């Protein structure tokens, strides 16, 4: 799938262009057309939005994960006289992510589906903007080894990890204690039910769980934020990104989502990155790194905000966070199984097949059922992933029958 892209602009491949991160990435690119061009767009089934994106950004390649959606897109583009080479499936995603003309890959496909194309981009030595946390959660050791071997530049997009990256010294991979860092303070909004009575959680609907107070996100990530599994996955991800031990990371509830995370140094200094809750800030930072460029985000006004609050998380309310932290300490395939079980449980909840408060029950039961294996190669990891999904489906069915 070779192509010849001319000009000095950086060529960008966006894995997950129709999702919230993908749309924000395209917004930032549109504001900086002299610096970036869209080489390829990858999405699942939303051919209508993809048609709009092709119309505006004129990518060379478009990859859909669904044959029917690809045919619909082909007809729509032909009707408008638009030209793009359309392919279908994971192999095609991996091909465009590793294409010789691509400079930057935004890895924003949600879930385990993003692992293969992201790894292809890493092996090709691309600049990786990592928004798919599951890649590190599932295969952190193998992924970081591949980054080191290929010479890829890895830049985190999650607002919290991007904040930590900005506050750490460049040589932090040698060990936090060796660069004077005492701990990482990972902030969390607490989600939409932070102050809700615990006894009301069984009645939570998918619509309520997806209504995040600060951020605009996809449905799966919104539910993860409501259960705090999102923060648990970020906890695991931070261990790999920053070569940190679990005991070097502390989660702190910060409802305003203005301080995106902090780094506490041994001399008593605490460095924090602040900004309005808008994903275009970390996206613009990573796209332009090590420079800066406009993102379209409004300037921060602390006077208007008035106060910033912090509190420790209540683990009885946020069982998913505790499960994720335990998985980080267990190592091996624990995190891969945790992620797989969570994806099954959240999907069941979104389809009204599982109560909100039963999500951590399904995950915990899955982890209690399956043994932790060595995660030394992808075959072992994906085997653990498949077994965890199968077991989680059985747990969902069991919980339904018991209700």
Which domains occur in the chain, in start order?
10-156 (3.40.50.720), 164-276+304-402 (1.10.1740.10)
Angle between helices 133-150 and 115-123 (to 10 degrees): 20
Instruction: Give pLDDT < 70 ranges for the chain.
Output: 1-7, 212-216, 401-403
Q: For residue 135, which of 166, 153, 114, 104 has the smallest C-alpha distance?
A: 114
User: Structure pTM?
Assistant: 0.90
Please state, in angstroms and rounded to a whole number, the distance separating the CA atoms of residues 37 and 162: 23
Please state, in angstroms and rounded to a whole number, the distance separating the CA atoms of residues 88 and 61: 11
What pLDDT does residue 403 have? 62
Tokens of 175: 């060990």
What pLDDT does residue 18 have? 96
Helices then strands (H, E): number in the chain? 16, 11
For residue 43, which phi and psi values (nearest 5 degrees)? -150, 180
For residue 170, which phi and psi values (nearest 5 degrees)? -60, -30
The number of CA neighbours under 13 Å toward the Cβ of 130 is 29
Please state, in angstroms and rounded to a whole number, the distance separating the CA atoms of residues 143 and 135: 8
Dihedral over alpha carbons 219, 222, 224, 230 (to 10 degrees):
120
What pLDDT does residue 4 have? 38
What pLDDT does residue 398 have? 85
Torsion over CA: 327, 333, 335, 338 (sign): negative
Residues written for the chain: 403
Q: Do 198 and 316 contact (CB within 8 A), yes or no?
A: yes
What pLDDT does residue 113 have? 80
Bridge-based pairing state of the strands 181-188 and 259-265: antiparallel
Please state, in angstroms and rounded to a whole number, the distance separating the CA atoms of residues 60 and 157: 25
Q: For residue 255, which of 168, 177, 188 has the smallest C-alpha distance?
A: 188
Q: For residue 362, which of 230, 246, 227 has the smallest C-alpha distance?
A: 227
Give the angle subtended at the CA of 20 by the CAs of 396 and 198, to the nearest 5°: 45
């Amino acid at each position: 799938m070779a192509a010849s892209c001319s000009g000095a602009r950086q060529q960008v491949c966006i894995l997950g262009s129709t999702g919230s991160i993908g749309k924000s990435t395209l917004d930032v690119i549109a504001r900086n057309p002299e610096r970036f061009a869209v080489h390829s767009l990858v999405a699942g089934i939303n051919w209508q939005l993809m048609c709009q994106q092709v119309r505006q950004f004129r990518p060379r390649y478009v990859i859909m994960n669904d044959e029917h959606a690809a045919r619909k897109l082909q007809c729509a583009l032909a009707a408008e006289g638009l030209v793009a080479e359309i392919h279908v499936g994971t192999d095609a995603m991996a091909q465009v992510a590793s294409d010789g003309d691509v400079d930057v890959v935004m890895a924003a496909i949600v879930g385990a589906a993003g692992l293969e194309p992201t790894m292809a981009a890493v092996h090709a030595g691309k600049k990786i903007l990592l928004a798919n946390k599951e890649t590190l959660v599932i295969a952190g050791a193998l992924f970081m080894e591949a980054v080191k071997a290929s010479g890829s530049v890895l830049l985190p997009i999650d607002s919290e990890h991007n904040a930590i990256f900005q506050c750490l010294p460049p040589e932090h991979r040698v060990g936090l204690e060796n660069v004077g860092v005492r701990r990482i303070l990972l902030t969390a909004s607490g989600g939409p039910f932070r102050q809700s009575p615990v006894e009301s959680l069984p009645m939570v609907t998918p619509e309520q769980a997806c209504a995040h107070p600060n951020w605009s996100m996809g449905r799966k990530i919104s539910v993860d934020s409501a259960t705090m599994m999102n923060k648990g996955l970020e906890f695991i991800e931070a261990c790999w990104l920053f070569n940190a031990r679990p005991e070097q990371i502390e989660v702190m509830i910060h409802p305003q989502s203005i301080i995106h995370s902090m780094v506490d140094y041994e001399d008593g200094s605490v460095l924090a990155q602040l900004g309005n809750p808008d994903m275009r800030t970390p996206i613009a930072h990573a796209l332009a790194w090590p420079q800066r460029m406009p993102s379209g985000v409004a300037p921060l006004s602390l006077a208007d905000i008035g106060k910033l609050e912090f509190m420790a998380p209540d683990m009885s309310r946020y069982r998913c966070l505790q499960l994720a932290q335990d998985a980080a300490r267990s190592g091996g395939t624990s995190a891969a199984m945790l992620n797989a079980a969570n994806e099954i449980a959240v999907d069941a909840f979104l389809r009204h097949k599982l109560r909100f408060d039963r999500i951590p029950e399904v995950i915990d039961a899955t982890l209690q059922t399956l043994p932790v294996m060595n995660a030394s190669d992808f075959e072992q990891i994906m085997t653990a992933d498949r077994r965890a999904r199968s077991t989680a489906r059985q747990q969902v069915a069991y919980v339904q029958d018991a209700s």
